[in-house]
Chain A
Amino acid sequence: MNSSGSLIRLSASALSAKLSSGDISSVEVTQAHLDRIAAVDGDLHAFLHVSANALDTAARVDASRRAGAALGPLAGMPIAIKDVLCTIDMPSTAGSKILEGWIPPYDATPVALVRRAGLIPLGKTNMDEFAMGSSTEHSAYGPTKNPWDFSRIPGGSGGGSAAAVSSFEAPLALGSDTGGSIRQPAAVTGSVGVKPTYGGVSRYGAIALASSLDQVGPVARTVLDVALLHDVIGGHDPRDSTSLRDEWPSFAEAAHVGARAESLKGLRIGVVKELDSPGFQPGVSQRFHEALEVLTAYGAEIVEVSAPHFEYSIAAYYVILPAEASSNLAKFDSVRFGLRVNPPGGGTVEDVMAATREAGFGPEVKRRIILGTYALSAGYYDAYYGSAQKVRTLIQRDFAAAFDIVDVLVSPAAPTTAFRFGEKIADPLAMYLNDVTTIPANLAGVPAMSLPIGLAPEDGLPVGFQIMAPARADARLYTLGATLERLLEDAWGHTLLSQAPELKVAI
């Protein structure tokens, strides 16, 4: 393998050491990843747009490093950005035709923060339209493939970001998670992703889906890399009125502590009974229980806990999400930005609006807007939206009761490994059920991580392990995640992603 081929296999933390020692330049690292994108993305389709400025930005970071500037650990590091985040120099479509070619007049705060930290935006990654979906099949620009098997979905909505890191097109990526859109793609691609505590990362400039659920978060191949990125994007932002004013600890330090841990003695891990379902794919359950055994052997105490209201979480989510989405997506009115379609024979501004939204939105977006409009209409508001908000309280109480007796909760990150394209697309309810493991954390606002724990024996595809912590205790995810990652990789003798098939390279 040539040197640029080996550069892309390195973790962000390993690249960081080489960059800061001057072994390699950011231009070399960035070029290696651009070459990789050129070689594999034609088939993979993780990117909707590749930046024309990446090498120039990298050259500037190299120059300031040579000039002796004090740079952060991720300076010079390439990063992929989910297309839901506004970027002042690249189109931001959220996977929708209604925003095709739209270049925002500002950067989302997480994007501004990664630029300020000297990271190199490589491009924008594919996603289900407006983050509505679990497979990227709802992207208006065609699906992203799963690097493990091109006949399968990479998860969604952030399938592009997960596929980009797991196919070595980028060491890091930004994602967003409304009901699992960071964690489920991580699970099915063998990568790592974190949904931070609600309010832990600014959503300013994230094209809103459901404002009481959306959270921006980090995506990478290792727990430490995710932590390093979380340290860059986290913190208070006066431009987001839901942003928390907390002082956050270093998550990278939390990951280092976990990687060095000599024992898990004293740690109480709760297994959520309702998320350890006999209905899950057998290989997923098997790898999950094997991971629990690894943790037990290292001293952790495993406690079964019940969260009786979790069974209502999908129902509550599919009321709250469409309701908020129908309101958030009203801004696509053909007046201020995006598509305009004039109906045949003209018409009033309302006719133009309706024709534009008919042409610009895909079927899943229409379905959820209509559902949300119904749930919010007079006469149904109390029965649906009002009740769903009460379920939210009950789910928060389940979490609170569980965290009274355990330090973290764990479950499989997704009920199955990556499913095949087309398998669930015609049945919206089947697609929604896929989110059963991830949704409770969004409804309650608690942080959660998915990390890989092996391949399911029946299909050889990655299985994800979910860790959930109390609100504001994101550091626990990184500490336990790094311990588990190290124990598994020591036992395997390799990383999980090193087992992924070689992708066909375009010449």
Chain B
Amino acid sequence: MSEITTDVVAHLADLARIALTPEEIETLAGELGLIVQSVAKVSEVATPDVPATSHPIPLVNVFRADVPGPTLTTEQALAGAPEHDGSRFKVSAILGEEQ
């Protein structure tokens, strides 16, 4: 397994949309290295003949009746938003200037 460098952590932070500080990146690189080393143990017994379990009690074909149910009103949906115009969520520019 490749080493968890500060570059790797910076890349992961970018993917996860967290603007980590250089100090946090440094600390996390050390900690994650240790954690990843210790959880890598899972591959010791995960042989090809063992099926994967995604949910402890699997259910299939969980559907509801195809009829309209209650939904949030626009006011309810917007009530917790940091910024809105009364009918829509407001965000800053989607595209940067260079695009």
> Contacts of A339 on B, CB cut-off 8 Å?
82
Measured between alpha carbons, how far is A198 from B55 in the docked complex, in Å? 9
Secondary structure class of chain B's binding surface, majority of residues:
loop
Verify B24–A366 contact, CB threshold 8 A: yes
Chain B residues, Cβ within 8 Å of A354: 14, 17-19
Contact at A335–B89, with CB atoms within 8 Å? yes
Contact with B along A102-117 (1 / 0, CB 8 A): 1111100000000000
Q: Using CB atoms, name the residue of chain B closest to A387.
A: B46
Q: In residues 46-86 of chain A, which contact B (Cβ within 8 Å)?
A: none
| Chain B residues positioned under 8 Å from A390 (CB to CB) | 42, 45-47, 50-53
User: Which one, A213, A349, A374, A393, contacts B91 given CB within 8 A?
Assistant: A349
The answer to whether A445 touches B31, judged by C-beta atoms less than 8 angstroms apart, is no
Any B CB within 8 A of the CB of A4: no
Q: How far is the CA of A426 from the CA of B82 in the complex (A)?
A: 34
Residues of A with C-beta under 8 A to B51: 390, 393
Q: Is the beta-carbon distance between B46 and A198 smaller than 8 angstroms?
A: no
B interface residues, tally (CB under 8 Å): 57
Separation in Å of the B72 CB from the closest CB of chain A? 5
Which chain A residue has the least Cβ–Cβ distance from B27? A363
How far is it, in angstroms, between the C-alpha of A352 and the C-alpha of B92 when the chains are bound? Answer: 8
List the B side residues contacting A352 at CB < 8 Å: 91-92
Set of chain A residues within 8 Å of B76, measured between Cβ atoms: 105
Contacts of A392 in B (CB 8 A): 52-53, 56
Give the CA-CA distance A334 to B81 in the complex, in Å: 8
Per-residue CB contact flags for chain B residues 69-90 toward chain A (1 = under 8 Å, else 0) read 0001000110111110000010
Given known A212-B56, A315-B38, A348-B95, contact A361–B18 (CB-CB < 8 A): yes
Given A354-B18, A384-B39; A370-B13 close (CB under 8 Å)? yes
Q: Does A17 sit within 8 A of B, measured CB to CB? A: no
In the assembled complex, how far is the CB of residue A118 from the closest CB belonging to chain B, in whole angstroms? 23
Give the CA-CA distance A178 to B67 in the complex, in Å.
33
Interface secondary structure of A, over-half rule: helix
Q: Does A349 contact B43, Cβ atoms closer than 8 Å?
A: no
Partner of A388, one of B38, B42, B59, B62: B42
Neighbouring B residues of A333 by C-beta, 8 Å: 17
Contact B19–A355 (Cβ < 8 Å):
yes
With the chains together, A398 CA to B61 CA distance in Å?
28
A356-395: which have CB < 8 Å to B? 357-358, 361, 363, 366-367, 369-371, 373-375, 377, 380, 383-384, 386-394
Q: Would you call B59 and A199 a contact (CB within 8 A)?
A: yes
Most chain B CB neighbours (cut-off 10 Å) among A361, A374, A377: A374
Chain A residues, Cβ within 8 Å of B72: 105-106
Contact A429 B59 (CB under 8 A): no
The answer, among B4, B16, B39, for a CB contact under 8 Å with A319, is: B39
Q: Is A312 an interface residue (CB 8 A)?
A: yes
Residues B12 and A316 in contact, CB atoms below 8 Å apart:
no
Q: Give which listed residue, A106, A241, A346, A370, contacts B62 with CB less than 8 A.
A: A241
User: Shortest distance in angstroms between B4's beta carbon and chain A's nearest beta carbon?
Assistant: 7
Asked whether A353 lies within 8 Å of B77 as measured between CB atoms, the reply is no
Give every chain B residue within 8 A of A334 (Cβ-Cβ). 82
Q: Which residues of A contact B12 (CB under 8 A)?
A: 370, 373-374, 377
Cα A352 to Cα B82 with chains together (Å): 12
Q: Which of B24, B39, B47, B91 contacts A315 (CB 8 A)?
A: B39
User: A204 at the A/B interface (Cβ < 8 Å)?
Assistant: no
Q: Please report which residues of chain B, range 1-41, place their CB below 8 angstroms from some CB of chain A when the two chains form the complex.
A: 1, 4, 8-9, 12-21, 24, 28, 31-32, 34-36, 38-41
Give the docked Cα–Cα distance between A228 and B56 (Å). 26
State whether A338 touches B80 (Cβ < 8 A).
yes
Q: Give Cα A361 to B79, complex, Å.
A: 22
State the CA gap A350–B62 with chains docked (Å).
Answer: 35
Within the complex, the shortest CB–CB distance from A93 to chain B, in Å, comes to 12
The answer to whether B45 touches A471, judged by C-beta atoms less than 8 angstroms apart, is: no
For the complex, what is the distance from the CA of A388 to the CA of B42, rounded to whole Å?
6
Q: List 27 A-B contacts (CB under 8 A).
A: A103-B80, A198-B57, A242-B62, A312-B41, A312-B42, A315-B38, A315-B39, A315-B42, A318-B35, A318-B39, A319-B39, A335-B81, A336-B80, A348-B96, A358-B20, A363-B24, A367-B31, A369-B16, A370-B12, A373-B15, A373-B16, A383-B1, A384-B40, A389-B53, A391-B46, A392-B52, A443-B56
Chain A residues proximal to chain B, CB less than 8 Å: 102-106, 197-199, 212-213, 238, 241-242, 244, 309, 312, 315-316, 318-319, 326, 330, 333-340, 342-343, 346-355, 357-358, 361, 363, 366-367, 369-371, 373-375, 377, 380, 383-384, 386-394, 396, 428-429, 432, 442-446, 471
Which 6 pairs between the two chains have the least Cβ-Cβ distance? A445-B56, A340-B82, A387-B46, A337-B80, A389-B52, A390-B46
- Since A326-B16, A340-B83, A391-B42 are in contact, a sample of 11 more A-B pairs with Cβ atoms closer than 8 Å, ordered by chain A residue number, is A106-B72, A315-B38, A318-B35, A342-B92, A352-B92, A357-B19, A361-B18, A367-B35, A384-B43, A388-B39, A396-B56
B residues in contact (CB < 8 Å) with A: 1, 4, 8-9, 12-21, 24, 28, 31-32, 34-36, 38-47, 50-57, 59, 62, 64, 72, 76-77, 79-83, 89, 91-96
